[in-house]
A and B are shown apart, each in its own frame.
Chain A
Amino acid sequence: MDFDWVFFIEIFVGGLMSGIMYSLVAIGFVLIYKSSGIFNFAQGTMLLFAALTFVKLTEGGVSFWVALPVSMGTMVVFGILVERFMMRPLANQSLLSLFMATVGLAILIEGFSQYMWDSAIHGLQLANFLDLALLDPVNMTIFVVDYVEWLDILISKFDIFATIVAGTMILILAVFFQKTRTGMSLRAVSDDHLAAMAVGIPLSRVWALVWAVTGIIALIAGLLWAERVSVSFTLVEAVLKALPVILIGGLTSIPGAIVGGLIIGVGEKMGEIYLGDLIGVQGIETWFSYFIALVFLLFRPSGLFGLKIIERV
Chain B
Amino acid sequence: MIYRETGTFITSYIEDRKLFPIPFDKWAMALFMLFMVFVIPFIASDYWLAAHLIPILAYGTAALGLNLLTGMTGQLSLGTAGFMCFGAFFTFNIMLRSPEWMNLPLALMLAGTVTGVIGIIFGLPSIRIKGFYLLVSTLAAQYFALWFFRSYPYFLNYATATVTLPDHHFDLFGIGETFDVDMASFEAKYLLSLGIVTALALFAKNLMRSATGRNFMAVRDMDIAASVIGIPVIRTKMLAFFVSCFYCGVGGALFCYAYLQVLGIRTFEMNRSFEILFMVIIGGLGSIAGSFYGTILVYEFPILFSWAGDYIFKGAFDTAVVDNVAKIMYGILIIALLIREPGGLAALWATAKQKLRTWPFPH
Q: List A residues at the B interface (Cβ < 8 Å).
A: 39, 85-86, 89-90, 93-94, 96-97, 99-101, 103-112, 114-115, 119, 240, 243-244, 247, 251, 281-284, 286-287, 290-291, 293-294, 297-298, 301-303, 309, 311-313
Closest to B146 in A: A286
Contact between B342 and A286 (Cβ–Cβ < 8 Å)? no
Among B128, B225, B324, B338, which residue has its beta carbon within 8 angstroms of that of A111?
Answer: B324
B61, chain A: closest CB distance, angstroms: 21
A89's closest neighbor in chain B, by CB?
Answer: B339
Smallest CB gap from A298: residue in B: B128
- Interface size range of chain B in the complex: 35 or more
Bound CA span A286–B141, Å: 11
B133 within 8 A of A: yes
Evaluate contact between B133 and A303: CB separation under 8 angstroms. Answer: yes
Q: Contact string, B312-339, partner A, CB cutoff 8 A, digits 1/0? A: 0000000011011111111111110011
B299 close to chain A: CB less than 8 A: no
**B residues in contact with A301, CB < 8 Å:** 128-130, 133
CB pair B274–A103 under 8 Å, yes or no, is yes
A residues within 8 A CB of B329? 111
Query: With A94-B342, A283-B150, A297-B128 as given contacts, are A111 and B136 in contact (CB-CB < 8 Å)?
Result: no
Task: Add 7 more A-B contacts to A90-B339, A244-B136, A284-B147 (CB < 8 A).
Answer: A101-B338, A108-B330, A110-B331, A243-B139, A247-B132, A298-B125, A301-B128
**Which of A39, A90, A291, A294 meets B338, CB within 8 Å?**
A90
In the assembled complex, which residues on chain B have CB atoms less than 8 Å from the CB atom of A286? 143, 146-147
| A247-B133 contact, Cβ under 8 Å, with A290-B140, A297-B128 | yes
Contact B334 A114 (CB under 8 A): no
Instruction: Give the one of B139, B278, B333, B338 with max A CB within 10 A.
Output: B338
Given A100-B334, A108-B332: A297 touches B136 (CB 8 Å cut-off): yes
Residue of B139, B151, B321 touching A283 (CB-CB under 8 A): B151
Residues in B neighbouring A251, C-beta threshold 8 A: 132-133
Q: Are A100 and B338 in contact (CB under 8 A)?
A: yes
User: In the bound complex, how far is the Cα of B140 from the Cα of A286, in angstroms?
Assistant: 9
Chain B hits for A302, CB < 8 A: 133
Q: Could you write out 13 A-B pairs with CB less than 8 Å apart?
A: A97-B338, A100-B281, A101-B334, A101-B338, A108-B328, A108-B331, A115-B321, A290-B137, A290-B143, A294-B136, A298-B129, A313-B222, A313-B225
**Bound complex: CA A105 to CA B285 (Å):** 19
Do residues A297 and B129 form an inter-chain contact, with CB atoms below 8 A?
yes
B155 CB → nearest A CB, Å: 14
Q: Is B31 an interface position by the 8 A CB rule?
A: no
B200 at the interface (CB under 8 A from A): no
The chain B residue with its CB closest to the CB of A45 is: B331
B331 — which chain A residues lie within 8 A by C-beta? 104-111
Instruction: Tell me the total A-B contact number using a CB cutoff of 8 A.
Output: 130
Report whether B328 and A115 are in contact in the complex, using a CB–CB cutoff of 8 Å: yes
- B125 near A297 (CB under 8 angstroms)? yes
Instruction: Find the B residue at minimum CB distance from A90.
Output: B339
Asked if A287 and B143 sit within 8 Å, CB to CB, the answer is yes
Residues of B within 8 A of A39 (CB): 132
Hey, which chain A residues are within 8 Å of B143, CB to CB? 286-287, 290
Cβ of B129 and Cβ of A240 under 8 Å apart? no
Q: Out of A109, A114, A243, which one reaches B136, CB within 8 Å?
A: A243
- On chain B, the residues within 8 Å of A313 by CB distance are 222, 224-225, 228
Residues from chain B with a CB closer than 8 A to the CB of A111 are 323-331
Residue of A nearest to B337 (CB): A104
Cα A114 to Cα B326 in complex, Å, equals: 12
The 6 A-B pairs at the shortest CB distance, nearest first, are namely: A108-B331, A111-B327, A104-B334, A290-B140, A287-B143, A115-B324
Any A CB within 8 A of the CB of B95: no
Query: How far apart are B284's CB and chain A's nearest CB, in angstroms?
Result: 12
Whether the Cβ atoms of B129 and A107 lie closer than 8 Å is no
Q: Which residues does chain B contribute within 8 Å of A108, judged by CB atoms?
A: 327-328, 330-332, 335
Contacts of A309 in B (CB 8 A): 130
In the complex, which residue of chain A has the Cβ closest to the Cβ of B70?
A96
